[in-house]
């Protein structure tokens, strides 16, 4: 089966750095994704990791350790508009399009 | 403009009355999926399709049907809706790019209430 865990809620201050963790246990692994979802809107793609290490994309970075079943999303220089839910998703080995999502982490950025 | 469209955006219906939620993408993507999103449960995949006439069950397929007769369309069919299918539904499309990256482009969502 698949089990993906992330904290339910986090709060951070504008301008700060926040790390959102995701741990997973899946029957197979073929890539990990992070999505951002603002309230009432559709998720939008943030990052993708399939090999161990850090992927950096502007203010956002994502890290993966396959041996530990662990990923984190790092958001730097937080802005108020970063208040959103952040969804961790794992693609298993079965198919090109079989994604399993965590329940999401609701991030609130305060002034 | 590249996009995924869903219709209707909001629907209130009654138990047992068949309904279809349409999904269309204009990006020529091979892959399409349907998800439902419920509080505390996150996004769960219902069905996915890897190409025309190729569909497979996701995590929660019971009570749903899909078809993929054309590349651009992937309708979700509820033959006999029940209250436990009240949810927010998202359609998504993607293609497999370099390194196995397939970015999912999500539609705006359909909020369904079954009374």
Spatial separation of the C-alpha atoms in residues B57 and B18, rounded to whole Å: 20
User: For A58, what's the count of Cα atoms within 13 Å in the CB-facing half-sphere?
Assistant: 3
Predicted confidence pLDDT, tens digits, chain B (115 residues): 879 999 999 999 999 999 999 999 999 999 999 999 999 888 999 999 989 999 999 889 999 999 999 999 999 999 999 999 999 999 999 887 776 677 889 999 999 999 9
Contact check, Cβ <8 Å, A96/B31: yes
Burial of B13 (0-12, 13-18, 19+ CB in 10 A): middle
Whether the CB of A102 is below 8 Å from some CB of chain B: the reply is: yes
Whether the CB of A32 is below 8 Å from some CB of chain B: the reply is: no
Contact check, Cβ <8 Å, A48/B101: yes
Q: Which residues contact B39 (CB under 8 A, 6 or more apart)?
A: none
Contact check, Cβ <8 Å, A101/B104: no
């Amino acid at each position: 089966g698949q089990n993906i865990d992330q904290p339910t809620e986090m709060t951070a201050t504008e301008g700060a750095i926040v790390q959102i963790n995701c741990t997973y246990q899946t029957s197979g692994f073929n890539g990990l994704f992070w999505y951002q979802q603002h309230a009432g809107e559709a998720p939008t793609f943030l990052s993708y990791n399939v090999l161990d290490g850090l992927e950096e994309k502007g203010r956002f970075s994502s890290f993966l350790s396959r041996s530990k079943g662990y990923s984190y999303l790092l958001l730097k220089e937080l802005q108020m508009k970063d208040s959103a839910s952040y969804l961790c998703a794992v693609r298993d080995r079965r198919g090109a399009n079989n994604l399993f999502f965590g329940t999401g982490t609701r991030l609130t950025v305060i002034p | 403009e590249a996009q995924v469209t869903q219709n209707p955006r909001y629907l209130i219906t009654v138990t047992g009355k068949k309904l279809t939620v349409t999904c269309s993408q204009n990006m020529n993507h091979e892959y399409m999926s349907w998800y439902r999103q419920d509080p505390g449960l996150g996004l769960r995949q219902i069905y996915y399709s890897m190409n025309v006439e190729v569909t497979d069950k996701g995590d929660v397929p019971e009570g749903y049907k899909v078809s993929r007769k054309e590349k651009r369309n992937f309708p979700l069919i509820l033959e006999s809706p029940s209250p436990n299918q009240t949810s927010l539904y998202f359609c998504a499309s993607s293609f497999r790019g370099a390194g196995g990256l397939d970015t999912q482009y999500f539609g705006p969502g359909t909020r369904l209430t079954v009374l």
